[in-house]
């Protein structure tokens, strides 16, 4: 669960990726503030551990969260600047919608947003699927970044 670094100046262009998802009937776009209650309810249902970070992303303007939507149904999300400036994540796609390029489109949209803010690199925080970030973004692991900023973080007690 270390952090990874992505070179933002080498990002592939966003438009063809958004066109490809649109051709599948999925819109990938920045979330709107009025969508916050809907997105947070969806988070609690599907990815509860990341609800607080998505809440933080909605506290920014423009909202630092991108969503993938098909026919009014939320399929996935990707945030930036949610735990620290220049951090990418959290992100997830519903299991039923994976493998269709949505995760990559969402991440690319968020990383282009970071580049537009002036950052040269993005930090992917506390990575789970290392191979995904290596393959999709040429990300490299940051040595010694485990547990990084998450060291000693208070966690909800289970049970
Ligand atoms: C990681 C995740 C967002 C990927 O979403 P997705 O929509 O399935 O990804 P895509 O379809 O855009 O895949 C993009 C590429 O990465 C590859 N890929 C996807 N998941 C991968 C994984 N876990 N490991 C390695 N490669 C992966 C795909 O094969 C695809 O390659 P291709 O372009 O050659 O076909 C999704 O699996 C998920 O929600 N996982 C659970 C939450 C999670 O782990 N979030 C990340 C926390 S850091």
Ligand 1 pocket check for 125: Cβ under 6 Å? no
Q: State which residues form the domain around 143.
A: 4-150
For ligand 1, atom 18, which residue shows the shortest CA distance? 132
Exposure letters 149-159 (e unless 16+ CB within 10 A, then b): eeeeeeeeeee
Give residue-wise pLDDT tens across range 70-128.
999 999 999 999 999 999 999 999 999 999 999 999 999 999 999 999 999 999 999 99
Q: Could you give the number of structural domains in the chain?
A: 1
Q: Write the CB contacts of 64 (distance below 8 Å, at least 6 apart in sequence).
A: 57, 58, 79, 80, 81, 82, 110, 113
Q: Which of 26, 97, 100, 104 best tests ligand 1's pocket when mutated (most atoms within 8 Å of CB)?
A: 104
pTM here is 0.97
> CATH no. for residue 109?
3.40.630.30
Q: Is residue 61 part of a domain?
A: yes
Ligand 1 pocket check for 128: Cβ under 6 Å? yes
Ligand 1 pocket check for 103: Cβ under 6 Å? yes
Give residue-wise pLDDT tens across range 130-157.
999 999 999 999 999 999 999 999 998 8
């Amino acid at each position: 669960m270390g952090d990874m670094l992505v070179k933002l100046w080498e990002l592939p262009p966003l438009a063809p990726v958004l066109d490809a998802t649109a051709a599948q009937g999925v819109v990938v776009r920045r979330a709107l503030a009025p969508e916050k209650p809907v997105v947070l309810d969806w988070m609690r249902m599907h990815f509860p551990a990341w609800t607080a970070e998505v809440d933080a992303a909605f506290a920014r303007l423009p909202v630092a969260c991108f969503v993938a939507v098909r026919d009014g149904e939320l399929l996935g999300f990707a945030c930036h600047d949610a735990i620290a400036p220049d951090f990418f994540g959290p992100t997830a796609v519903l299991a039923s919608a994976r493998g269709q390029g949505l995760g990559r489109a969402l991440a690319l949209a968020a990383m282009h947003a970071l580049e537009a803010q002036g950052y040269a690199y993005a930090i992917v925080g506390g990575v789970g699927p290392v191979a995904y970030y290596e393959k999709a973004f040429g990300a490299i692991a940051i040595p010694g970044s485990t547990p990084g900023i998450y060291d000693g973080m208070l966690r909800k007690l289970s049970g």
